[in-house]
Amino acid sequence: MSRLENEFRDSLLMPLPKHGGNMHEKDYRTEQVPGGYESMNRETKVNSGRRLGRDGVPSNFHEASQEYNYKRETETDRPY
């Protein structure tokens, strides 16, 4: 398993802002491997705070989404 693949597997835990608020992180990396390359793309969005509910009472809310893409492409000399 390559270093980038290990980082991708270990990054499945989602970071959260400490004191509420918004967070939008993007991380993109590409590395050469023998015969090709591998790339990892991660995007995390977090929104939290207070808003009025349907009954007009303020309530805390927390919304989060996370997207991961991992791709590894290699070329071989074998004919198909």
pLDDT tens profile 15-38: 666 666 788 889 899 988 888 899
Kindly list the domain boundaries of the chain, sorted by start residue: 3-74
> With a threshold of 0.85, does the pTM exceed it?
no
What are the pLDDT digits (tens) for 40-50? 898 988 888 88
Cα 62 from Cα 64, distance rounded (Å): 7
Q: How confident is the model at residue 2 (pLDDT cuts 50, 70, 90)?
A: confident
Among 46, 50, 4, which residue's Cα sits nearest to residue 22?
A: 46
Question: Which percentage of the chain shows pLDDT scores above 90?
Answer: 6
